[in-house]
Homo-oligomer: A and B are copies of this chain.
Amino acid sequence: MEANLKLREQVKKEFTEYLTLHKHRKTPERFAILDHIYAFKGHFDIEDLFNFMADNDFPVSRATLYNTMELLLDCRLVVKHQFGANISNYERAYGNENHNHIICTICGDVREMKNDDLLTASQLKKIRKFTISYYSMYIYGICSKCSHAKRMELMRIERQNKKENQKNK
């Protein structure tokens, strides 16, 4: 928690510098949004953040959330994901490095896994003329739960097929 407070101050400072440089106003909403984002770890969508802030006595409109996310993405304090459903997910960029996303294409569940610097220096060099701000491995597949459900469903179909074949004889 100590470390987290320090991080929250650090990012606030960075955000302030960014806003100053770009001549954007330093509104209480903007700082509150950043601070709430860095108060928890893990993915969230706009609705989550909207509810979280409303529950914490700092209600902010959805429009402002969307606007502010643009700024936070631009200054790289926040990272955006789109895991499969048509919802944007976000994640703080600092204190959250190096993890892969394991996404179930059936139930949409997203698990995380640490990675050990997947991109080597030589691989990074291959990407000419491109300023990398973030990279992540997305692993799509089927989680154990859905895998099981699918297997059951297949067995059900096969049983039924067999039954009907016998009937037709």
Which of B22, B80, B118, B141 is in CB contact (< 8 Å) with A132? B141
Given contacts A21-B157, A84-B80, A133-B105, contact A139 B118 (CB under 8 A): no
Q: Which residues of B contact A61 (CB under 8 A)?
A: none
Contact mask A117-135 → B, CB, 8 Å, 1/0?
0110001001101111111
* Interface pair A137/B113, CB less than 8 Å apart: no
* Interface pair B137/A133, CB less than 8 Å apart: no
Q: Which residues of B contact A86 (CB under 8 A)?
A: 82, 86, 88
* Interface pair A143/B157, CB less than 8 Å apart: no
**Complex Cα gap A115–B135 (Å):** 14
Where the two chains meet, the residues of A that have a C-beta atom closer than 8 Å to any C-beta of B are 21-23, 73, 79-80, 82-84, 86, 88, 102, 104-105, 111, 113, 115-116, 118-119, 123, 126-127, 129-144, 147, 154, 157, 161
